[in-house]
Structure 1
Amino acid sequence: MSTQKALILPEKHGEWKLTDVAIPSPGPTDILVKVAAAGLNPIDWKNKDYNIMPKSFPFISGTDGSGVVEAVGAEVKTFTKGDKVLFLGDSGMEGGTFQQYAVVPADLAAKVPENVTLDQAASIPLALATVATGIWVHTPNALSVSIPAPWEDGGETQNAGKPILILGGTSTVGQHAIQAARLNKFAPIITTASPHNAARLTALGATHVLDRALSPSALSAAIAEAAGGAPIELVYDAISEPDTQAAGYAALAPGGTLLMTLPPAVPAESVVPEKKIVMVFGSFYLPGNRALGKELFGRLEGYLRSGAFGPNEVEVVPGGLAGIVEGLERLKQNKVAGKKLIVRPQETA
């Protein structure tokens, strides 16, 4: 078999098209994965509407993937055919996950342990990359606060006992931010969410779950109380809408950093030189982020097996690749909460 099903963007701002394309071949340091599950993310509909990532067409989107190794490159020693893996896809004709087979660098894949399903595994890569690149990358001028990773010197001590605020704890990024903060031993770990999600977030490591519907003044008071009067030097805004940015910036102590996943929208009159604003870009394919990605994926199987990191709750969108368009429209309309949408490319008719 030399062809497969794929969902492509045939042209800039074009309409999604389900079609047949060639199955890519892995290079010497790559693996070819038969994609069992692909996660849907806002970047995917933005690739269509705003042409954020496509450099040429046709274009295959998709960054979250899991599946079974079909073939390995000549230099790959860490995987063999038949291994179950999760991986960070590189949107494009070879690496995008909106197809039945994808090529991925072996150092940006990890084996999936028995306690995680392939559906669950597809909820992890991009959210984890978005958190890790914002917190742990150390390259000059990186979009990061450059905190030591948990396995590095100071990773479990530098911020031990310091409060952290994570806005949007129920989001896929927010849930991974809570778990990363737990590994760095931040305490307390304060987050916002709807009250019915409190038990889930507490199980991930949050110590205080504040009602996201509180008024700005009530939320500010609740954050200060949860922090016990200690200065909050790091806020991760996983939602990054104007209201959450304003709340996060207000809670931030002088000398601290507000991390966000969308462009800054903090009111200009509130901005002061003593508070840093950083917009993260969750990709290990950037040269300055690749070393961290390799280190993290090399440890990820163990983290998942031990429960140090866990997947999001998932919802399977039916129809295989044909279900993606409906799923992306739901994301665009903000009709998804607390779950990661995935599709199963092999179920494409």
Structure 2
Amino acid sequence: MGTTVSSFTRSSSGVDGLPSIDMALQQQKALLLPSKGAPFALGTRAIPKPRLGQVLIKIESAAINPCDYYIEQYGVLLDGYPGIAGNDGAGTVEVLGEGVTSLQKGDRVLFQCWYTIDRGTFQQYALADAPRAAKIPKTLSFDEASTIPSCVITAAIGLYAPVGARGGAALTPPWAPGGLGKYRNQPALVIGGSSSVGQFALQFLKLSGFSPIITTASTRNIEYVKAAGATHVIDYHTTPYPALPGAIAGITTQLVPVIYDAISSEDSQKAAWALLAPHGKLIVTLQPVVGKPGEEAEDGKRLVHVFGNVNDPDNVRFGDELFSVLTGLLESGAIKPNKVEVVEGGLAGLPKAVERVGKRDVSAVKLVAHPQETP
């Protein structure tokens, strides 16, 4: 794709199929991973052209996720090098690929990447599959919208996608007939409710009718998690994981049938598995240390190891369903974005920001960069 690392070049020639883009932008700025284990490097590469069913998006905001750190540090997920990280983006549709009718040029959309160089969001333009690019309501900024894709997807797949090796708990989603409020008077627990994924898990559990909705969080984030749907908050500083059963017993006498562990440390998983009701579902986002993904334990408990990407072949069908209703959920306020902290320097500010996220030096906020503001 004409990739150049650490060298910003301009071209005066036009780009086939890109009449709306300034001719000087045939080469876009990108934050590249030149080889496995190499650090991020600013560079340029050609603006990709959308294929059948795709759109080209001018990225205004790109949010950072922990997996971006793992991609840089360990070379996971990417299909080759040079590669581009970045899972979440929000911007404007610039070019429609063949067969696209659900979107128009100029639409404001949010989307999730796939792990090819043309689709990572740490660049100024990227491709997305049209069915899984959701229009952004007028009430949301690009920054707010960019906090949504991967985390809302991870929460939704974990709770509502069909059972599978990396599937979900197969609950009836709140947007399906009979799903809204279906699980009234059943308790649920979210470990790490102030995390980006935890925030959306709380919101979905509220829509599904669970009550009480218990979460762990620090005292400074109590109002944040309650606004998302938590009815009870346990301070993890004063109540370590081994003490969770006693704290929860003081809130409800019922066994907990659904636990979403957005932290997924060894200790949190072990505590959650011990708390889980027979035939209950424990959803984790990192490597499981309890249960067997996709299999039921002797008492019917099921461990769900979620892979939160709607572009994975196993998740495309569910992703199309989720994205068909996502704009409506955002317009109604049923689903709300994370808090935003803007990273200065556009793409140039991302390396340090990715390190902060990877080392968990961020709390109750989503870091967002503006690729178009790269010096």
Q: How would you bin the TM-score normalised by the shorter chain?
A: over 0.9
Identity of aligned residues (%): 42
8 Å contact from structure 1 (residues 193, 211) kept in 2 = yes
In structure 2, the gaps of 5 or more residues are 1-22
Consecutive unaligned residues of structure 1, counting only runs of 5 or more, are none
User: What residue number does 1:91 align with?
Assistant: 115
Equivalent residue number for residue 334 of structure 2: 308
Amino acid at match of 2:222: A
Residue in structure 1 matched with residue 257 of structure 2 by the alignment: 233
Q: How does 1:1-349 map to 2 (within 5 A)?
A: 1=23, 2-138=26-162, 140-156=164-180, 158-213=182-237, 214-226=239-251, 228-266=252-290, 273-274=298-299, 275-349=301-375
Question: Does structure 2 retain, via aligned residues, the 8 Å contact 1:164–1:189?
Answer: yes
* Residue 142 (structure 1) shift: 4.6
Which structure 1 residue ranges, 4+ long, deviate > 6 Å from structure 2? none
Q: Matched residues in 1 for 2:154 and 2:175: separation?
A: 18
Structure 1 residues 308-338: Cα deviation after superposition (integer angstroms, max 9, x where no partner): 0000001111010011100011112221111
Per-residue CA deviation, residues 192-224 of structure 1 (Å, 9 max, x unaligned), is: 101121112111111111111213454321212
Shift of residue 267, structure 1, vs aligned partner: 10
Instruction: Tell me the alpha carbon deviations over residues 260-318 of structure 1, each in whole angstroms, 9 at most, x when there is no partner.
Output: 111123499xx963232221110111222111111111111111111100000011110
Contact 1:246 1:267 in 2 (8 A): no
Cα 1:217–1:55 shift into 2, 3 Å: closer
Distance in 2 (alpha carbons) for counterparts of 1:312 and 1:217: 29
Distance 1:224 1:272 in 2: 24
Whether contact under 8 Å (1:320, 1:346) holds in the other structure is: yes
Task: Give the whole-Å Cα distance in 1 for the aligned partners of 2:96 and 2:333.
Answer: 28
SS in 1 for 2:259: strand
Structure 2 CA distance for partners of 1:187 and 1:99, relative to 1, 3 Å: same
Going from structure 1 to structure 2, the CA distance change for 1:140 and 1:200 (only over 3 Å counts) comes to closer
Contact 1:68 1:84 in 2 (8 A): yes
SS of 1:254's equivalent in the other structure is: strand
**Per the alignment, in what secondary structure is the counterpart of residue 255 of structure 1?**
strand
Amino acid in structure 2 at the alignment position of 1:13: G
Partner secondary structure for residue 253 of structure 1: strand
Count residues with an aligned counterpart: 346
Task: Write the distance in 2 (CA, Å) between the matches of 1:294 and 1:272.
Answer: 31
Whether contact under 8 Å (1:91, 1:97) holds in the other structure is: no
| TM-score in terms of structure 1 length | 0.95
Deviations 1:30-54 (A, max 9, x none): 1111000001111111112222101
Tell whether the 8 Å contact from 1:170 to 1:197 is kept in structure 2 after alignment: yes
Residues in 1 aligned to 2:283 and 2:224: alpha-carbon distance in whole angstroms = 23
Partner deviation per Cα, 1:153-203 (whole Å, 9 max, x = no partner): 442354222111000000000000001111211111111101121112111
Q: Measure the CA separation in 1 of the matches of 2:166 and 2:268.
A: 23
Is the 1:7–1:16 Cα contact (8 Å) retained in structure 2? yes
Q: Please give the alpha-carbon distance, in whole angstroms, between the structure 2 residues aligned to 1:157 and 1:206.
A: 15
Does 329-338 or 148-157 show the bigger shift? 148-157
Name the TM-score, length of structure 2 as normaliser. Answer: 0.88
Alpha-carbon separation, structure 2, partners of 1:173 and 1:267? 22
Counterpart contact for 1:258–1:278, Cα < 8 Å: yes
